[in-house]
Structure 1
Amino acid sequence: MNNRITLVLFLASLMIAQPTIDLIEPTFGEMESIITISGENFSSNSSTNTVFFSGLGANILNSTENELVVTVPHGTYYSPVSVYTNGLYASSS
């Protein structure tokens, strides 16, 4: 029984790909600016994505598998931007 559970968990982990951040537009913005994060392996369900600017959470306005539209939170720097999706992590450089 334990071997079956381990196998199922292992196979499920292979099906979830790590998110990547390819582009952030605009490159610079003020607090409360709306920006678009383009990449891969985001969730189309906004509630399963979390976006941080220098550790402060952003409000996600819209999400697809390849794009997140968010507002820059108050009191933050524009970089780094971090995205958590389905327990996996990506960060801008």
Structure 2
Amino acid sequence: VKNRVFSILFLASFIIAQPLINFIEPAFGGIGSTVTISGNNFSSTSIENTVFLSGLEANILNSTENEIIVSVPYGAYYTPISVYTNGLYA
């Protein structure tokens, strides 16, 4: 019986889509309040997203590809808001 070893080279090309923020709700809230960020191209794995409110990292409570829910950190205002995922910012 002979064993044969095969090697397969698979080359793939793909594009990572930039995250996009469409809507933030509520428009105002205090420290510790919950904010829902709706958009596109977020990661459904919470740890793969980072959300900044006024430059401060927010605690992500849950995320899907189209929505991230965070709590407002101490010292943060609502703006500016940015989302970092897959090496790109929204």
Smaller-chain TM-score range?
0.7 to 0.9
How far, CA to CA, are the matches of 2:18 and 2:78 in structure 1?
A: 22
Structure 1 segments, 4+ long, off by >2 Å, are none
Q: TM-score, normalised by structure 1?
A: 0.82
How far, CA to CA, are the matches of 2:23 and 2:76 in structure 1?
A: 19
Counterpart AA for 2:32 = E
Query: Which ranges in structure 1 are unaligned for 5 or more consecutive residues?
Result: 1-6
RMSD over equivalenced CA pairs, Å: 1.4
How far, CA to CA, are the matches of 1:78 and 1:39 in structure 2?
A: 16
Aligned to 1:19: 19
Cα deviation for residue 78 of structure 1 reads 1.2
Q: TM-score, normalised by structure 2?
A: 0.85
Aligned to 2:63: 63
State the aligned residue count: 81
Cα deviation for residue 70 of structure 1 reads 0.3
Aligned to 1:49: 49
Query: Which ranges in structure 2 are unaligned for 5 or more consecutive residues?
Result: 1-10
How far, CA to CA, are the matches of 1:63 and 1:69 in structure 2?
A: 6
Cα deviation for residue 76 of structure 1 reads 1.3
